[in-house]
Amino acid sequence: MAKVLRCKDLGMNCTKEIRAETEEEVLQLAAQHAEQDHGIHAASIPPSIQAMVRAAIKDE
């Protein structure tokens, strides 16, 4: 079963869907996407938001 994270579930005006086999991979790809497309550096994301991102990851 794949894991999916939809950027819009995080309140972003963005249709990107990030899919990977594991939650860790999704988080890694999400960090890349946030940096490349939203100019958000993963290192600057506070733990409360990281928890929100984790919670938004769904099984597909």
Minimal distance in Å, beta carbon 33 to Zn ion?
A: 6
Minimal distance in Å, beta carbon 35 to Zn ion?
A: 11
Minimal distance in Å, beta carbon 57 to Zn ion?
A: 14
Interacting residues with Zn ion between 1 and 60 (CB under 5 A): 7, 12, 14, 16
Q: How many CA atoms lie within 13 A of 27 on its CB side?
A: 13
CA distances from 10 to 6, 7, 48 (A): 7, 5, 12
What single letter denotes the amino acid at residue 6? R
- List interacting residues with Zn ion (CB under 5 A): 7, 12, 14, 16
